[in-house]
Amino acid sequence: MPSLQELQGPIDARIVEAVLAVAPESWTRIALKLETVADGGRANLAHELWNLADEKQSATPDDELYAATRELYQAYVQHGTPWKVALYVVTVDDDGGARFQARYSY
């Protein structure tokens, strides 16, 4: 079985790409909060996506973002470290590149 680190890099890249695809181009700092919600013994992920410059501005995740975040959560579950909350902050650089930070609460 691949290590969590080997799995996570490509999944993180998909998450960042999906965040950028659904966020308006004018957003330069974007937050994505994922929270596990128990549903009849099964964990579902609640998604919140917003502009850090104006927290009243939100965006709707698409199927690609849902798929990538489910894959991320499943990778953590398979490695015995499921998180309760994940927070990604994606920053768009002046040259159009993007970087991110992710924090997990267990």
For the stretch 55-71, pLDDT in tens is 999 999 999 999 999 99
40 — pLDDT class (breaks 50, 70, 90): confident
Q: Does the pLDDT at position 1 exceed 90?
A: no
* pTM, rounded to two decimals: 0.93
Q: Of 41, 88, 39, which Cα lies nearest the Cα of 68?
A: 88
Residue where the block lists tokens 């079985």: 1
Say if residues 92 and 28 touch (Cβ distance below 8 Å).
Answer: yes
Give me the mean pLDDT over the 75-84 stretch.
Answer: 94
- Containing structural domain, residue 14: 4-105
CATH code of the domain containing 71: 3.30.500
Q: Count how many domains the chain has.
A: 1
For the stretch 2-24, pLDDT in tens is 999 999 999 999 999 999 999 99
